[in-house]
Amino acid sequence: MKFAIFGNTYQAKKSFYAQTLFSILEKHHAEVYICRDFYEFLTNDLKLNIPTAGLFDDDNFDADMVISVGGDGTFLKAASKVGSKGIPILGVNTGRLGFLADVSPEEMVTTFNEIYENRYTVEERSVLKISCKGQELEDYPYALNEIAILKRDSSSMISIHTAINGAYLTTYQADGLVIATPTGSTAYSLSVGGPVIVPHSNTIAITPVAPHSLNVRPIVIRDDWEITLDVESRSHNFLIAIDGRSESFKEGTQISIRKADYAIKVVKRHNHVFFNTLRTKLMWGADTRL
């Protein structure tokens, strides 16, 4: 098999298991290509001897499978480079919580044995696309987790006029608004009080960040509906964060968010159950007094 590998290049401890990963792939006679900045981090900073068939930059690669080594942030970076290629992504979790990157380093040997025995599943995860009228978006316009509209340069709230399929919903007076996929429902959206959504529910969650009104609550809509937003700000600007990548926009920019025309494929172990992940990662039912 041919693998393209991305990894965390900021924290040495998150790439500590990279040598083990490459040893496993070498035993399987895998054809391994590595993102150039990750390779340079491993060889120059960590002084590792890494065998590779070649290096690649940005999204200039092709493979049977992509491997992300790090946390969910690294997985999101890999997903942005895979884009519409349709290459499945396996996340090896060397970070903390890890909903997307959920294969632990201790499970790597077993996981790759299962992959070579074709005993794994591939889940398709929906992606959001943002379009802006009045100011061009400079970065990649697709989000696997969420698109967030946030205040900037002021402690004052922003006003976010929101419509669904052209029908007015409400004006959120808040610090921001998070529009999340089911995949992103356990990320930023969850931290601001959004609902946990089953991955294949074909929905989008809209959750305000610190709303001024106590009776404003999250809402879940169909993912084939279009969300349009118009933002007012006392500082006349605001932020758009796409899976954590943020840009500043001027007041008056019209925003449209809809489901993208492609999905990201996520590799899961053959015995993976979403509800087991919830219980384990979020410690549902655990007695924290023990």
Write out pLDDT tens, residues 58-80. 999 999 999 999 989 999 999 99
Q: Residue 109 has what pLDDT?
A: 95
Q: Taking a C-beta distance cutoff of 8 angstroms, is the pair 92, 16 a contact?
A: no
Mean pLDDT across the stretch 245-255? Answer: 93
For residue 16, pLDDT beyond 80: no
Q: Residue 185 has what pLDDT?
A: 96
Mean pLDDT across the stretch 218-230? Answer: 97
Tell me the percentage of the chain whose pLDDT exceeds 90. Answer: 72
H or E stretch at 24: helix 18-27
Q: Taking a C-beta distance cutoff of 8 angstroms, is the pair 255, 231 a contact?
A: yes
Write out pLDDT tens, residues 153-170. 777 899 999 999 999 999
Mean pLDDT across the stretch 172-190? Answer: 96
| Active-site annotation holds for 72 | yes
Q: Residue 100 has what pLDDT?
A: 87
For residue 261, pLDDT beyond 70: yes
Confidence class of residue 275 from pLDDT cuts 50, 70 and 90? confident
Confidence class of residue 14 from pLDDT cuts 50, 70 and 90? low
Average pLDDT of the chain is 92
Q: Residue 23 has what pLDDT?
A: 92
Amino acid occupying residue 79: A
Catalytic choice (72, 102, 175, 243): 72
For residue 18, pLDDT beyond 90: no
**Whole-angstrom distance, CA of residue 245 vs CA of residue 157:** 21
Q: Taking a C-beta distance cutoff of 8 angstroms, is the pair 86, 64 a contact?
A: no
Q: Indicate the pTM of the whole model.
A: 0.91
Mean pLDDT across the stretch 75-92? Answer: 96
Q: Residue 13 has what pLDDT?
A: 66
Q: How many helices (H) and strands (E) does the chain have?
A: 6, 17
In eight-state DSSP terms, residue 61 is -
